[in-house]
Amino acid sequence: MIGRLLLTPKYKLITLPTPLEKAAKLSEEYDINLYVKRDDVMELAFGGNKARKLEYILADAFSKGCDTLITRGAYHSNHARLTAAAARKAGLEAYLVLYPPIEPKVRGNLLLDKLLGANIVYVESSKEANEAMERLAKKLEGEGKKPYIIPGGGASPHGVLGYAMGFLEIFQQLRSFGEKLDYIVHATGTGATQAGLILGAKLLSLDDVGIVGISVGRDPKEVKGEVSRLVSGGAKLLNLDLNVEPEDVIVFSDYTFGGYATITREVVATMKNIALKEGLILDPVYTAKAMYGLLDLVEKGYFKSDSTIVFLHTGGTPIPFQYSELVEEYL
Ligand SMILES: *Cc1c(COP(=O)(O)O)cnc(C)c1O
């Protein structure tokens, strides 16, 4: 089953595998076996989980003869930044539909979008973004361009394949350390990363590996539905009829701290705790909330004893700089 995945074309953006490291201090303190998969360590414009998805998305765009990428996101979007960078690397134009148009300070991801020469279009809210992308595509087509629309977060069937391969990579690395994989815990937003990991586990018949998503804001029901849909979509690209029921997708919603991109004292405290113990930098929108969730679930006895847990560091490196005043306030 894995053969088709290995043969699916991708456009190389990053050097894989990324590092997998033991979190020694946290493992000792919490009496667990914890590893961190460093998908924040990539050579493309500060990296992150969207880079893996974009490798498959760009290959699809090229196969369709497209010359322009259009995508959407919040103005601090990691996905928008990596789409802008991937476009440059591949010799394509990028258009970013961003929201809300609050004239944020140009820094963090937004600064990088501008540095990368992305064309930025602002809309009032996320509700208007899809329509704005369609309008933009029509306009560009009228100018003789061949645009390719990437859904927010790279949450398309091709994007899913990035983390089906990512699962394989994590599994093989842990094996080479003589460890067995029991859980992968990560921040879940659009659900495409989670869908990819679940698909990867299915392709290897490793259904007992727990793929645990920590929601960073969305309603878990919505995320579970999206994950289910994306697993089937990714599988279909591999000519497989494979389905996961939404209720079998594991999503925790207790760690949103008031909603998407809401930054509280506890979130910054987690960033600080992990920085002090492991020298590891988390971001306040995604990875710090996911790590808080992981450690809370350890304390609540959620994980089976003697299990090996991998925390997938999904990136977001520029985000602490985007929200530096808020982070500093709670330091
Ligand atoms: C986009 C993003 C996520 C969420 O990934 P999805 O595939 O959309 O669920 C998690 N962490 C970071 C840093 C991200 O940029």
SS3 80: helix
Give the C-alpha separation, 95 to 87, whole Å: 10
Amino acid identity, position 32? I
Main-chain dihedrals φ then ψ at residue 188, nearest 5 degrees = -120, 135
Ligand 1 pocket, 224 CB below 6 A?
Answer: no
Residue nearest to ligand 1 atom 15, measured at CA: 78
Please, which residues have CB within 8 angstroms of residue 225's CB and are 6 or more apart in sequence?
Answer: 246
Q: What is the pLDDT of residue 143?
A: 98
CA of 143 from ligand 1 middle (Å) equals 33
Q: Which residues contact 28 (CB under 8 A, 6 or more apart)?
A: none
CB 312 within 8 A of CB 45: no
pLDDT at 160: 98
pLDDT at 88: 98
Supply the pLDDT for residue 85: 98
Cα(224) to ligand 1 centroid in Å equals: 15
Measured in angstroms, how far is the CA atom of residue 260 from the centroid of ligand 1? 12
State residue 101's pLDDT score.
79
Confirm or reject: Cβ of 78 under 6 Å from ligand 1. yes
DSSP β-ladder status, 20-22 and 33-38: antiparallel
191 CA closest ligand 1 atom index: 9
Q: What is the pLDDT of residue 180?
A: 97
Amino acid 103: pLDDT: 67
Mutate to test the pocket of ligand 1, among 40, 49, 199 (most ligand atoms within 8 A of CB): 49
Q: What is the pTM of this model?
A: 0.98
Full pLDDT tens readout for the chain, 331 residues: 799 999 999 999 999 999 999 999 999 999 999 999 999 999 999 999 999 999 999 999 999 999 999 999 999 999 999 999 999 999 999 999 999 877 678 999 999 999 999 999 999 999 999 999 999 999 999 999 999 999 999 999 999 999 999 999 999 999 999 999 999 999 999 999 999 999 999 999 999 999 999 999 999 999 999 999 999 999 999 999 999 999 999 999 999 999 999 999 999 999 999 999 999 999 999 999 999 999 999 999 999 999 999 999 999 999 999 999 999 999 9
For ligand 1, pick from 36, 312, 314 the residue to mutate: most ligand atoms within 8 Å of CB.
314
Distance between CA 1 and CA 234 in Å, rounded?
A: 13
> Is 162 touching ligand 1 by the criterion CB < 6 Å?
no
In the numeric block, the tokens 């560091």 are attached to 313
**What is the token pair recorded at 245?**
């029921």
188 lines ligand 1 (CB under 6 A): yes
Q: Which of 53, 193, 229 to mutate to test the pocket of ligand 1 (most atoms within 8 A of CB)?
A: 193
- Nearest-CA residue for ligand 1 atom 12 is 314
As annotated, the active-site residues are 77
